[in-house]
Each structure stands twice: as C-alpha cells, then as structure tokens.
Structure 1
Amino acid sequence: MDATSTRSPLTIRLCQPRGFCAGVDRAIQIVVLALKKYGAPVYVRHEIVHNRYVVEGLQNLGAVFIEELSEIPPEHRASPVVFSAHGVPKSVPEDARERELFYLDATCPLVSKVHKQAMRHQRLGRHVLLIGHAGHPEVIGTMGQLPEGAVTLIETDADVANFKPADPSALGFVTQTTLSVEDTAGLLKALQERFPQMQAPAAESICYATTNRQEAVKETAPGADLFLIVGAPNSSNSRRLVEVAERAGAKMSLLVQRAAEIPWDEIGRISTLGLSAGASAPEIIVDEIINAFRDRFDVTVELAVTATETEDFPVMRVLRDVELTAADMAFVNGMA
C-alpha cells in the first residue's frame, strides 16, 4: 500500500499575494548590491527587514547589523551603512553626516510617503496624529521627522479619549503602513467623531501590500481548521495577519518563523490549512512549511489569488551599475 494513502487528506489554501513586498525586495537588493560594489563589511542599522532568515543570510554575505552608528569602528568609516526599510528619524542621517559616514537609505518609498504627509500637515499648521504602535521602528522614524511635541501617537481607544489638542480645528492624521485595516478604521472613526475638522493625508497611508495580504487572508480564513502566518514576532504586518485570520473565521491562527516552530501536538486533526506570509518573510520558508505538512498529510495545494502585484521600487542611482547574478536574485526574491 502507498504510504501516502494512510495519511489524512489536507487541503492547503495558499494565499497569493504573500511574502516579500516591493519595499522589502528593494531593501534586500540595496544591501546585496552594496556588498557587491563596495565589498564587506556593509553595516546595516537595525534589521533591514524583520526576518531572522533574511538577516542571517545577509550576515553570511558580509553584512554587519548594528543598532547605533557609534558601533561602526573608526577604521571602517568609509564602509557603507544602510538604513532599514522601516525608516529612521531625521537625526540618524544627520548623525551619519557628522561622523562623515557614507550611507544608503533603504527606507520603503511608501514609508517615505507617510513622512512627507506628516511634514505637509505640520507645514500647514496642523498637529499630527500618528495611528500606530509604540516602539515600532517605523513609528519612531515617522515621529522623528518632526520636532518633539509635533506628533501625538494614537494606539488605543483610550488614547483617542484622552487626547486634548490645543486647537481641535488644526489636526491632521497619518498611519503606520503595516496596521490592520479594520483596527485603523475603528480608531479613525473615533477620532473623526471627536474632531470632525481633522484632515486626512493626501493619499492612503496603509500600504498596498499590507492591504492585499490582509484581504487574501480574510478571503481564505473562513472554515480553516488552522491558519499559519509565516513571519517574525516583531513584524507588525505579520502579527496583524494572525489577527485578521482569527476574525475572519479560522478556528486557530498562529505565527511561525520556521517549520520547526509548528506545534504538531497542539493542532490536532485538521483537514483545511490556510497559509500566508508577512511582507518580510521569504518564499523558501513557505516551501519549507508546505513540505513539513507533506511529510505528515496527503496534501493538496489550492492557490487563492485575490490580487496581482506589479509594483517595483528601483534602488538608488549609485547602485544601478551593479549587476546581480541569478543566485543573487534568488536570494533577493526569497528563494535561496
């Protein structure tokens, strides 16, 4: 008898789109291109994206991850330093210039757009409300675009209730790009009820990739016995996908970084599995998880396509003369 015939059948609903977004792809490209052009070490301030597999892969190529520019040894001052995709406060490039460092800013263009929206609000005389999560690098970077006291972080309904502006008619809001669309809508409604004259940004702040991945999970979660999201615990967009799956009808939803983290004893008997990946999770780990289920179940994969993404963010001009090999591109695209 074929060994697979004794295994329980399992349908995997595989979300598309999932995994790397254009901003993450660009940030990883920048580090790889810098290593090829300038050689190791290339310093990276903060995790380039929130994924341990990606970080370790770049470390193996010669990237050195630091939290502060002061960690760069004086003898390596000519080595490039890359700022992460999450964005940085204005004080960071200023510090780099003072230290005479050569830096490459890998901030996602959609995060940069939020920075510009916040600065526009302030230029028009508005106090800025930032809907986001305290301590997240993107929030720190956005708040750091404006003088201290010019931005108020709104994270909860209590923050909305407790906020007392100097001028209720002079407010503008922006949001962190990786939030739950539904949670943001609730906070925004509460703010608009309290401050009807509050001004919106010129364009949507939550990025297309966040919205697309949440919509794909929402579409595939109903009836799923288990929904797995591939991503890191410190990845905001990945944690939001877990919440979206639970709200949309999955019986259980979990965040895992690798197949080794799947709690096989806890998931019990399942017949339908939903599977997606946060915007900083490489495709190779999705494949690893599918194979782990193939080892235990008779698997059928159904691709659930809800959107097609064609966005492509080019790297900065100084790196465009460097060619990537097929192996380089496989790494950048999350396949190696």
Structure 2
Amino acid sequence: MTAGSIVLAQPRGFCAGVRRAIGIVERALDLYGAPVYVRKEIVHNHHIVAELVKRGAVFVDSEEEVPEGAVCVFSAHGVSPGVRSAAADRGLEVIDATCPLVSKVHQEAVRFARDGRTVLLVGHEGHEEVEGVLGEAPDRIVVVETEEDVRRLALPDDTPVAVLTQTTLSFDETAKVVRALRARFTDLLTPGEDDICYASQNRQNAVKDLARRNDLVLVVGSRNSSNSLRMVEVAREHGAAAHLVPDESHLDEAWLHGVSAIGVSAGASAPEILVHGLVTRLAALGFDRVELQRGIAEDVVFSMPGRLADPVTGRVPRTPLADEAPLSPGGAA
C-alpha cells in the first residue's frame, strides 16, 4: 500500500463534562469502595465502561436495581425528577454526574414551562438526555427531530413556544429545524445561548475541515454515542467518506483503498488511548506520517460535587484537562 498521512483533529476526544463524570465515578470508588452503582452508562463509550467495571463500578438500567441505601451515580446525560424521587424513596446515596450543560437545559425547560409556554425540544426521541429533560414537564414538552416534524406539529401557529435542543446534535441540522420553527410560530423564544455544547460544536467544526482536506475521515467513538455519530454525518455532508470506529479492531482495510490522506477525530466520550490504537494500526498499514490540525485549544473545566471532597482536607479534587498525553505530530509513537 502506498504510504499516506494522517491529520489528527484538534480538538478531539474527552470534553469537560465527560472528564468530570468519569472522575466522579473514580472518586466515589476511592471514597466509598466497591461496589458503586451507576445508573445507565456514565458516558457512551464501551472502553470507559469496561475499565470502570474492572474498578468495581456496577452499571444498571434503573435506580430500582440498586440495593437500598447504596451509592448511586447518575450518568452525564441527566435524569428526570421521577428518577430522583425514586432514588430518594430507596434511600440511595446519590452522586449526580449530570453534565452542567445538560443541567442548564433542564433548568431552561422548567422555566419556560412555568411561564406557560410549550417547550419544543429538538432532539432524538428515546435518547437518555432527551428522556431526562422530558421528565421535567412531560405535559408541556414536545420532541421534534426534523423539519417534517415541525410541519406535523398539532399546534396553532400563535402558540407561545420555546425552543431547546439536545446538547450533542449536529449544529447545521439543528439550525435547519430551528429556522423551520421560527418560520412557523409567531411567539417563539429561545435561550440566550445555544444549547448545543461547546465541545460538540468545536469537534464538528474540526471535522468539517478534515473532510475538506482528506479523502477519508475516521471518528473514534461508540455506536451509541450521539455526538460521535453526528461527527460522521458532518464529515459526509462536507464531501469525505467517513466511518465510525469504536476501536482499531473495527477498521476495515477496504476503506483505505485509493486513499492517501486520512483525518482522524474522536467523539467527546472517546478516550485518547483508542485514538492511539487506531493511529498505530494505520501506521502499520502505511499511514505513518502524522500531523496535528490547527484548532481550538479547550480549557473548560467543571468542578466535582462538594460531597466528594477529601474527608481530611475538605478539598474537592480538580478534574484534569485531558485523559492522557496527546499523540505527537510526526509519528504514531
């Protein structure tokens, strides 16, 4: 195979909310010992879940599966008030790892619903984040995913509405849906800031650039990771062949035929070790020149809950900026 090059996206991989959530589970295991129960996957990545299981985390689908009085961590995607109530009824020691940006959407939903508005939540029906927000005001929140959904809404055009969005959506596709809502409804409010998180926007923008510069774009991420799937879609929409790669074992060498330049990125819940693995596999196949894309350097840090403070010093551990040392340009090592 002809030698080729790799361009590593910047930024890629873990966002602040994911680092915080993983750190919360690790800190809870340090403080309370195993087992620590986690409702749903703490973040949508198979490697992270498997590593935490090795440390003593137990992942469950419902708070009802957690023994009464046990420690239970809520995932980064957030939960509904009903879940919080059920956990309280069971006497669970709850530690909330909800991403602060998701919590902001919950607060906005409550505020708009209390103001008497119908909340139109742009998102994917059934996604954990959407289910959590829906639970804040189920009688006043309607999920819309496409422009066609907007046309089918059984609401008068003068209905007072407010628009919120799932944080991990494609920025471009969401903008189309929001434009359709603005065109239809005469009394429409949106929050002061866009709900799609900074990390999703930054990674999508980086992938757009990769798609314009490379024959192929590979996105490291699990199949149930919404933001990773959106990155693949964005790359395809901007002219590149693109595939989701949960880890290097899922690389199909047929994708590389006729390719001389590959862009590599990773979803916000994918650890750098999986990027290392993919780059090493590509190097063995002839793609042994690595360069780093010019991009935004993220420095956002979210603090951990106060209840995880050190019992002696009272200090709350700081969430690290990165999960591991990044790959160096110029080689796969």
Q: Please tell me the TM-score bracket, short chain as reference.
A: over 0.9
Conservation of the 8 A alpha-carbon contact between 1:15 and 1:276: yes
Alignment of 1:289 with 2:278, yes or no, is yes
Tell me the residue number matched to 1:3: none
Tell me the residue number matched to 1:157: 147
RMSD: 2.0
Q: 1:319 aligns with which of 297, 301, 308?
A: 308
Tell me the residue number matched to 2:227: 237
Conservation of the 8 A alpha-carbon contact between 1:232 and 1:256: yes
Q: 1:60 aligns with which of 54, 57, 62?
A: 54
Structure 2 CA distance for aligned equivalents of residues 28 and 200 of structure 1: 31
Structure 2 CA distance for aligned equivalents of residues 244 and 125 of structure 1: 36
Tell me the residue number matched to 1:175: 165
Tell me the residue number matched to 1:326: none
Conservation of the 8 A alpha-carbon contact between 2:6 and 2:287: no
Q: 1:248 aligns with which of 238, 241, 248?
A: 238
Tell me the residue number matched to 2:126: 135
Alignment of 1:21 with 2:15, yes or no, is yes
What is the SS of the residue equivalent to 1:221? Answer: helix
- 1:169 positional shift: 3.9
Classify 1:203/1:223 alpha carbon distance in 2 versus 1 (closer, same or farther; 3 Å): closer
- 1:272 positional shift: 0.4
Please list, as runs of the form range in 1=range in 2, the aligned pairs for 1:250-265 lying within 5 A after superposition. Answer: 250=240, 252-265=241-254
Tell me the residue number matched to 1:102: 93
Structure 1 window deviating more from structure 2 (156-165 vs 130-139): it is 156-165
Q: 1:72 aligns with which of 66, 70, 73?
A: 66
Tell me the residue number matched to 2:329: none
Name the aligned partner's letter for residue 60 of structure 1. Answer: K
- 1:334 positional shift: 5.3
1:23-71 Cα deviation digits (max 9, x unpaired): 0000000000000000000000000000000000000000000001121
Structure 2 CA distance for aligned equivalents of residues 152 and 168 of structure 1: 16
- 1:268 positional shift: 1.1
Structure 1 window deviating more from structure 2 (284-293 vs 159-168): it is 159-168
Structure 1 CA distance for aligned equivalents of residues 73 and 325 of structure 2: 23
The TM-score with structure 1 as length reference comes to: 0.91
Structure 1 CA distance for aligned equivalents of residues 154 and 3 of structure 2: 57
How many residues are treated as equivalent by the alignment? 321
Alignment of 1:114 with 2:105, yes or no, is yes
Classify 1:193/1:11 alpha carbon distance in 2 versus 1 (closer, same or farther; 3 Å): same
Structure 2 CA distance for aligned equivalents of residues 175 and 335 of structure 1: 33
The TM-score with structure 2 as length reference comes to: 0.92
Structure 2 CA distance for aligned equivalents of residues 96 and 197 of structure 1: 38
Conservation of the 8 A alpha-carbon contact between 2:121 and 2:165: yes
1:253-285 Cα deviation digits (max 9, x unpaired): 000101010011343131100100000000000
Q: 2:77 aligns with which of 81, 86, 91?
A: 86
Q: 2:33 aligns with which of 29, 33, 39?
A: 39
- 1:202 positional shift: 2.8
Alignment of 1:302 with 2:291, yes or no, is yes
Name the aligned partner's letter for residue 198 of structure 1. Answer: L
Structure 1 window deviating more from structure 2 (136-145 vs 290-299): it is 290-299
Q: 2:185 aligns with which of 195, 204, 207?
A: 195
Conservation of the 8 A alpha-carbon contact between 1:284 and 1:335: no
Structure 2 CA distance for aligned equivalents of residues 196 and 174 of structure 1: 16
Tell me the residue number matched to 2:209: 219
Alignment of 1:49 with 2:43, yes or no, is yes
- 1:167 positional shift: 7.0
Runs (5+) with no aligned partner, structure 1: 1-6, 324-328
1:234-267 Cα deviation digits (max 9, x unpaired): 11100000011111121x1000101010011343
Conservation of the 8 A alpha-carbon contact between 1:14 and 1:303: yes
Conservation of the 8 A alpha-carbon contact between 2:64 and 2:86: no
Alignment of 1:272 with 2:266, yes or no, is no
Name the aligned partner's letter for residue 151 of structure 1. Answer: I
Structure 2 CA distance for aligned equivalents of residues 266 and 248 of structure 1: 18
Name the aligned partner's letter for residue 122 of structure 2. Answer: I
Q: 2:195 aligns with which of 201, 205, 209?
A: 205
1:165-223 Cα deviation digits (max 9, x unpaired): 25724110100000000000100111100013211113210000000000011112114
Name the aligned partner's letter for residue 47 of structure 2. Answer: Y
